Amino acid sequence: MNSNYVREFLEESTQIIDKLDEAAIERMVQVIAETKKRGGRLFFVGSGGGAGHSSHAACDFRKLAGIESYSVTDNVSELTARVNDESWDDSYANWLKVSRIGSADCLFVFSVGGGDEVAEISVNLVNSIKLAASVGASIVGVAGRDGGFLAQASDAVVVIPPINPQNITTQTEGFQALIWHLVVCHPLLESATPKWESVR
């Protein structure tokens, strides 16, 4: 057992915080604030841990920021039907098409690597990003590594610095939660106070 693991992991987390691009976070806030101002919707996409973040984030952006928000993976029946009948790679994009994602809306992506079409990794996210771009929707997200396809195509992306190659997934997914919680409670977006903060 490595008795230093906890300390090393926390030290990595501190290093990541010190290296986060604050300007990128502010850009993300601005993009979402503009979406809210024009009455647009937020669509969250992610796989695995990113799908979990998507569901939680859709809840909080609706409740705390007053933005109409949806997670593509919340309807398990529709998702599995699309995967079975259409393909995993197109399942998210086809969901977004039926939801009529448009230029007033914003796609919010959670991904560890940002998607890579050549390597055939997270192609479902790549296709969602392509669709959003084709209709003029805004695109934001939080990713690890170098940000992948998301970093190339987005209006604002926060890249979680890869301090330790062995902890890229765990650190990225952990910081995704931190970043979107920071964003939803930003003064430019928050319209309701969380319950425990209102208790005196």
For the segment 119-138, what is each residue's pLDDT rounded down to a tens digit? Answer: 999 999 999 999 999 999 99
Q: Quick one: pLDDT at residue 111?
A: 98
Strand order, beta sheet including 138-143: 69-71, 42-46, 106-111, 138-143, 156-159
Q: Quick one: pLDDT at residue 2?
A: 65
Domain assignment of residue 3, yes or no: no
pTM: 0.96
Domain assignment of residue 127, yes or no: yes
Residue 3 confidence class, pLDDT cut points 50, 70, 90: confident
pLDDT tens digit string along 19-77? 999 999 999 999 999 999 999 999 999 999 999 999 999 999 999 999 999 999 999 99
The residue whose two tokens read 């109409």 is 68
The CATH code of the domain that includes 159 is: 3.40.50.10490
| Domain total in the chain | 1
> What are the angstrom distances between the C-alpha of 49 and each of 29, 33, 81, 171?
22, 25, 21, 12
Domain assignment of residue 199, yes or no: no
Domain assignment of residue 39, yes or no: yes
DSSP state of 74: S
Domain assignment of residue 5, yes or no: no
Residue 159 to residue 59: CA distance in whole angstroms:
23
Question: At residue 1, does pLDDT exceed 60?
Answer: no
Question: At residue 91, does pLDDT exceed 80?
Answer: yes
Domain assignment of residue 140, yes or no: yes
Domain assignment of residue 198, yes or no: no
Domain assignment of residue 172, yes or no: yes
Residue 199 confidence class, pLDDT cut points 50, 70, 90: confident
Domain that holds residue 154: 22-188
**How many H helices and E strands in the chain?**
8, 5
Closest Cα to residue 130, out of 51, 172, 50, 122?
122
Closest Cα to residue 140, out of 64, 16, 52, 45?
45
